[in-house]
Every structure is written in C-alpha cells, then in structure tokens.
C-alpha cells in the first residue's frame, strides 16, 4: 500500500463490492492490483483466479513507499472480512492455465471472464455483494469461448432475467445514457423507435432518482444533424423522438428536446463555477454519439454504468489494451473511479431504501 495515497477503510459490516477479473490476457489484473496497492479497493472482493492475480502482482514494480499487495484466496465469500487490511481477497470462481498468453486473444481467458461475471452477478442478485465492478473483457475472446454476447451490458441483462437495461457513460462533468448500444450504425438507426426512447427516459429517470437526484433534468439528443432542421435532414425527431419526450413529460419526467447533438453535450457539461450544466444527463441515440463526448473529457475519469439492473454495476471506460498488457504500464484511474462511483450509488440506494415514503 502506498503511504502517500489516502486509503479507504473497508466497512466489514456491510456486503463487499465484487470486482470481476476481466480478461486475464489484458490489463484488468494489473489494474486491480494497482487499485489495491493504492488503498482504493478496500471492501472489495475479486472474483477470479487467485494464482493468476498473485502472478500478476509478482511481475509488477512498486515505488519504495509502496508494498506489494498480498493475494488471499477465500474458501467462501464470508471470509473476506478476515482478510488483512491491504490484502487482495479473491473468491476462486475461474481457473486459468499458467501458459495463458498475456497480450493475445485466448478463448480460455474469455471463458474465465464470463465465469467471473456470472458468479458476481449471481451473488449481487442474492444480496451477498453490494454491487459489481467489472474489469475489461475482450469481445473476440468471449466469442472464441462460445459466448455470444457482445458485451457486459447484454451479459448482465441476460443474467438478471432479461430486464430492460441501458448503458450510461459518466464522469464528474457529463453523464450520457444510450438508446442503442452495440449495433452497427445502419441497424442502430432503425432501432431508434419511440418505444425505445421512452423506455430509455424511464430507466434514466428512475436511476438518477436512485443515486440522489429528486427531479432529474434530462436532455434528449436528436438523431440527425441539427436535430433534423425541421425535417430538412430527416424526420425522426418529429416522428419518433418528440412523441416519446411528450409521453415522458406526461408521466412527470423532466425530459426536453430533441436538441441538436453537436451542442447538447456542451450544454449539459457540468464544470462549475464557470460552466454549471443545464441538464443532469443526456439521452443519446447511438453508441458513438453518446460516448465520444464523455471520452473526450478524459478516458481515465470515465465510468461505464448499467442502468436498470436490480444491483449496481460499474466498469472502467476502456478496453483490455492487449498492446500494453503485462508491461506494467496500465493506469488504474478509471477502475478506481468505477469503484468510487459504485460506492456512491450503493450508498444512495441504501439511503433511498431507508427513507420513509
């Protein structure tokens, strides 16, 4: 643990957060070790392979004021409370061969990543963990393992019984929620329906209330340039998006728009005191429309959140970075931000549950 870094003591009376190992051939294991070394992952349990995580830690360098975290394999989840401060408690739910090639796509890593996610989600649904923070996975490795989901969002939706979910990417300045996620652009445009927009608004509104915004102000981006320019550049705004906004407003949701997508994110950006945001979040129509603005503000600060699940789930705003895996160059800032946001959301949910109606 680094003495120069402030640490967060674990609350051993509450359920821990689960951190999934991610793709073992990528940077996920390094990020986890570094987060624990900086004292920012206390109160968390890693779902994965203890031997692999210990091997990762042995291959990393630490500053003189830091000590290499000790990996402790648990026989059961309850044992995490007995782990020494600063140790990395690991629940062994996946088993990785020692010859796994770091920095390459491997089906065995994809299978282990899925096993870690499934185990953590099962415990979250049962209330045994407070939430789930997922390290990056590699979609090609998943598919090589015979797992046909395009990403975490779809996996967790399936494990939670098919509940409607949406992806949100967030940092301290901007939050965006997507109507469509991992679809080719041609298919995504067709998937932008009034029902899909309305459902997104409902999910975003309910989620924001859970994390402590009593009446969320939601901006809705148009699909076309200039939000269609009165029909000159497309009619989806008037034919599809506006009716969904009107229905949401009739339900008491403070949704506004559709606004031109090239300016709405600037209007929503919250950077006080010079630039207080006009909105609490933006609903975007497709993947890149919503994610580029958040990532431009700094990938190291971005957090991916799955809204609509019956438990909290966050993730770093980046992928497996196979090109630098195993080189001890990965920056844990986004994982640490994901852990911090998960803690905040869990606390807000608990506060909301304890508040009389």
Domain at 179, CATH number: 3.40.718.10
Rounded to whole angstroms, the Cα distance separating 304 from 325 reads: 21
Peptide bond into 236 cis (omega under 30): no
pLDDT at 272: 85
Mark the ranges of the chain whose per-residue pLDDT is less than 70: 1-12, 65, 299, 356-357
- Looking at the fold, whether 288 and 313 belong to one and the same domain comes out as no
Q: HSE-up of 354 (CA within 13 Å, CB side)?
A: 6
Beta-carbon count within 10 A of 162 CB = 8
Pairing state of beta strands 303-307 and 166-170? antiparallel
> Do 97 and 205 reside in the same domain of the chain?
no
Give domain status of residue 1, yes or no: yes
Task: Among 271, 297, 323, identify where a domain stops.
Answer: 297
| Omega before 51 within 30 of 0, i.e. cis | no
In a domain, 302, yes or no: no
Q: How many CB atoms lie within 10 A of CB 164?
A: 13
Amino acid 3: pLDDT: 41
User: What are the φ and ψ backbone dihedral angles of 19, each rounded to 5 degrees?
Assistant: -115, 120
Q: Check whether residue 293 and residue 356 sit in a common domain.
A: no
The edge-to-edge listing of strands for the beta sheet with 44-48 is 71-73, 88-92, 44-48, 17-20, 131-134, 312-316, 303-307, 166-170, 175-178, 281-284, 217-221, 254-259
State the Cα torsion 82-340-312-289 to the nearest 10°.
Answer: -150
Q: Are residues 201 and 102 in the same domain?
A: no
- In 3D space, the residue among 234, 239, 15, 49 whose CA is nearest the CA of residue 127 turns out to be 15
pLDDT attached to residue 353 = 75
pTM of the model: 0.90
Domain that holds residue 272: 172-297
Q: 123 lies in a domain? A: yes
Domain count, the chain: 2
Both 151 and 232 in one domain: the answer is no
Separation between Cα atoms, residue 43 and residue 68, nearest integer Å = 18
Do residues 35 and 107 share a domain?
yes
Closest CA to 70 of 82, 54, 59, 81: 54
Task: Tell me the HSE value of 128 on the side-chain side, using a 13 A CA sphere.
Answer: 15
Q: Is residue 304 part of a domain?
A: no
56 inside domain: yes
**In contact, 98 and 55? CB cutoff 8 Å:** yes
Q: Tell me if 339 sits within 8 A of 38, measured CB to CB.
A: no
Looking at residue 302, its pLDDT comes to 86
């Amino acid at each position: 643990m680094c003495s120069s870094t402030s640490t967060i003591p674990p609350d051993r009376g509450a359920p821990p957060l689960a951190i999934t190992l991610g793709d073992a051939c990528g940077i996920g294991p390094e990020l986890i070790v570094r987060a624990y070394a900086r004292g920012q992952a206390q109160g968390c349990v890693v779902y994965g392979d203890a031997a692999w995580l210990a091997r990762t830690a042995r291959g990393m360098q630490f500053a003189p004021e830091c000590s290499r975290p000790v990996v402790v394999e648990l026989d059961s989840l309850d044992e995490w409370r007995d782990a020494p401060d600063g140790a990395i408690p690991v629940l062994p739910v996946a088993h990785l061969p020692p010859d796994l090639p770091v920095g390459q796509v491997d089906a065995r890593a994809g299978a282990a990543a899925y096993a870690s996610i499934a185990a953590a989600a099962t415990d979250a649904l049962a209330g045994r963990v407070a939430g789930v923070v997922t390290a990056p996975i590699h979609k090609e490795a998943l598919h090589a393992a015979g797992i046909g989901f395009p990403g975490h969002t779809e996996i967790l939706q399936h494990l939670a019984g098919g509940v409607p979910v949406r992806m949100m990417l967030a940092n301290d300045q901007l939050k965006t929620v997507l109507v469509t996620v991992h679809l080719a652009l041609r298919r995504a445009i067709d998937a932008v329906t009034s029902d899909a927009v309305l459902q997104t608004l409902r999910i975003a509104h309910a989620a924001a209330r859970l994390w402590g915004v009593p009446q969320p102000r939601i901006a809705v981006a148009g699909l076309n340039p200039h939000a269609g320019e009165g029909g000159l550049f497309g009619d989806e705004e008037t034919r599809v998006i506006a009716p969904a906004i009107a229905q949401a407003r009739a339900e008491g949701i403070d949704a506004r728009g559709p606004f031109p997508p090239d300016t709405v994110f600037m209007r929503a950006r919250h950077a006080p005191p010079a630039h207080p945001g006009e909105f609490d979040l933006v609903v975007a129509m497709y993947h890149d429309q919503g994610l580029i603005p958040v990532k431009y503000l700094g990938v190291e600060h971005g957090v991916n959140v799955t809204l609509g699940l019956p438990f909290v789930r966050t993730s770093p705003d980046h992928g497996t970075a196979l090109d630098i895996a195993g080189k001890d160059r990965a920056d844990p800032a986004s994982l640490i931000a994901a852990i911090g946001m998960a803690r905040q959301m869990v606390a807000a949910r608990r506060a909301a549950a304890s508040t009389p109606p």
